[in-house]
């Protein structure tokens, strides 16, 4: 069992970050003030579907990239 106040290390956009164990993709976006923005979240080389953000729990060593939509043409 992971104690409730334990932290995990996750790489976000190339930078290691200490996050609360059990944090979800959705909570991470909220903490970064990115909720509702035009972007996608990539975890370990795969886009995390938006419907699963609220219950996709991050684990130690995850590599997260925030992919911002490009619209120009």
Partner 1 sequence: MNDQQLLRYSRHILLDPIGIEGQDRLLGSRALIVGAGGLGCPSALYLAAAGVGTLVIVDDDEVDMTNLQRQILHREQSVGRAKVDSARDALHDINPGTEVIALKQRLAGDALLEQVAAADVVLDCSDNFATRHAINRACVATRTPLVSGAAIRFDGQVAVFDSREPNAPCYHCLFPEGGESEEVRCAVMGVFAPLTGIIGTVQAAEALKILAQTGRTLAGRLLLLDALGMEWRSIALPRDPGCAVCGEGA
CA distance 22 to 25: 10
| Degrees, nearest 5: CA angle 8-50-3 | 25
Mask 19-58, x = binds partner 1 (CB under 8 A)? -----------------xxxxx-x--xxx-xxxx------
> Which C-beta is closer to partner 1: that of 21 or that of 63?
63
CA distances from residue 62 to 25, 70, 71 in whole angstroms, order as listed = 11, 24, 28
> Which C-beta is closer to partner 1: that of 27 or that of 41?
41
* Binding of residue 3 to partner 1 (CB under 8 A): no
* Binding of residue 15 to partner 1 (CB under 8 A): no
* Binding of residue 1 to partner 1 (CB under 8 A): no
């Amino acid at each position: 069992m992971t104690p409730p106040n334990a932290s995990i290390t996750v790489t976000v956009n190339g930078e290691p970050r200490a996050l609360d164990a059990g944090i979800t993709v959705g909570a991470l976006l909220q903490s970064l003030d990115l909720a509702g923005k035009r972007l996608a979240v990539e975890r370990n080389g795969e886009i995390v579907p938006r419907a699963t953000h609220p219950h996709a729990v991050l684990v130690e060593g995850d590599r997260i990239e925030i992919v911002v939509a490009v619209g120009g043409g």
